Amino acid sequence: MTIQEALPGGGPLAAASGAATASAGVPGAKEPRRPFGRWFRETGWRHLIGIVMLVFSAFPLVYVLSASLNPGGTLLTANSLFANFDIGSYIALFQDPLRPYGAWFVNSIFIGLTTAFFTVVLCALAAYAFSRMRFRGRRVGLLTLLLVQMFPQLLAVVAIFLLMSAISDIFPALGLNSQIGLIMVYLGGALGVNTFLMYGFFNTVPASIDEAAKIDGAGHARIFFTIILRLVAPVLAVIGLLSFIGTMNDFLIASIILVDPDKQTLAVGLYQFVSQETARNWSVFAAGAVLAAILPMALFLSLQRFIVGGLTAGSVK
């Protein structure tokens, strides 16, 4: 007889303890349910906040989609979500000769992709120089890039207009009503914060990689294009995506520089549907906004795996 069996009640207690231990070790065994109050205090409130934020973020999107399917032409009649279902507004987008939605869409894609590509290239070159090279004025240049971003873009609107107007008299291809000129303006405004973001990411790449490549006879250009760019692909994707979305959504600068309706972007062109007091068509405007959001959303979802790493890796350094 064992000691546990000799003690009063020792046998049943030992058996119960062994059974509990055995059930805890079984993979399929269910754990006892926590009381609702305890579950809500520990994890439930997080789910509640997540649901509220999801509804708060998704409601404007659902509302605009419902308004685009409402043939009434106003936003007030779209309060009952999806009460009507009519794709006439989507068809009307491409049937108005005075408002070429197709041309606006192509212009936005061209300007957005071109700006994103050159933003990534120029910011990567500048960030590599600040991260890997030591030269006079390096620290002052970094601080200048950071301080310039403190001033809002609205302060430069008058200066940009006067500058582009003066350039039009000398070289019209880069002046007012020029898509190339608008791209140049976007590139100038995007170099500051994006360069600083890439600079922090470049610092996370070990300098020993550069030294090993230099021993093998590689120069700065070969190291940059064949080694470094592959290692910093996440931040390149993030900068390109943010630049493309920012260009697609810009209204202020594009409305000042682009005058010809055939050269305007989506943000400027869609405003024509609601700018006139007696000819506002919110349903067509909402339909155009829904179609304009498809491409940025697709790019965001396709590059989602790069976004978190690209935004946080540079801050760790």
- Annotated domain spans of the chain: 36-91, 98-316
The yes or no reply on domain 98-316 and CATH 1.10.150.20 is no
* Spatial distance between the Cα atoms of 49 and 40, rounded to a whole number of angstroms: 12
Answer yes or no: is pLDDT of 27 > 70: no
Contact criterion met (CB below 8 Å) for 123 and 191:
yes
Write down the pTM of the prediction.
Answer: 0.77
Contact criterion met (CB below 8 Å) for 129 and 196:
no
* Spatial distance between the Cα atoms of 98 and 133, rounded to a whole number of angstroms: 53
Q: State the average pLDDT over residues 64-76.
A: 75
Given this model, what pLDDT does residue 118 score? 94
Round the CA-based radius of gyration of the chain to a whole number and report it: 29
* Spatial distance between the Cα atoms of 215 and 222, rounded to a whole number of angstroms: 13
Tens of pLDDT, residues 113-133: 999 999 999 999 988 888 888
Given this model, what pLDDT does residue 6 score? 47
Tens of pLDDT, residues 96-115: 888 889 899 999 999 999 99
CA dist 51 to 34, 63, 312, Å?
22, 18, 25
Given this model, what pLDDT does residue 16 score? 46
